[in-house]
């Protein structure tokens, strides 16, 4: 179940909850904020690739009509990306941090792509 800590402008979820959201809601997008080499080594299929250090300059590329599920390796960079997105005007009700990151996704054998594959 999505959790929200006091003062945080995003919800915290795990990979299992993220998969349920992706499967059940067409208005969900996963945003991978890791480095290019990490992304190429394995990422959520159809994830938007936006390294965390580019979020502030590329925030207009994020779909505003969807729930945004940010993912990194361990949940720290994705939490930062959630905070930056909220600061740039994206509705906090649409921001989610996948806390167990890409390893949590890949280790459950959820749809994963490699290299430049979507």
* pLDDT tens string 10-41: 999 999 999 999 999 999 999 999 999 999 99
**What are residue 43's DSSP bridge partners?**
113
Question: Model pTM?
Answer: 0.97
Give the integer Cα–Cα distance in Å for 22 and 74: 19
Task: Tell me what the mean pLDDT of segment 65-80 comes to.
Answer: 98
Amino acid 40: pLDDT: 98
Q: What is the pLDDT of residue 46?
A: 97
Pairing of strands 48-49, 28-32: parallel
Quote the pLDDT of residue 73. Answer: 98
């Amino acid at each position: 179940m999505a959790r929200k800590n006091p003062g945080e402008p995003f919800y915290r979820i795990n990979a299992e909850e993220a998969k349920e959201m992706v499967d059940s809601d067409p208005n969900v997008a996963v945003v991978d904020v890791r480095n290019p080499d990490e992304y190429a080594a394995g990422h959520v299929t159809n994830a938007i690739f936006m390294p965390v250090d580019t979020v502030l300059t590329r925030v207009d590329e994020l779909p505003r009509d969807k729930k945004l599920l940010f993912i990194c390796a361990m949940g720290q960079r994705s939490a930062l990306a959630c905070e930056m997105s909220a600061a740039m005007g994206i509705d906090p009700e649409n921001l989610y941090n996948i806390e167990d990151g890409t390893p949590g996704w890949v280790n459950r054998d959820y749809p994963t792509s490699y290299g430049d594959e979507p």
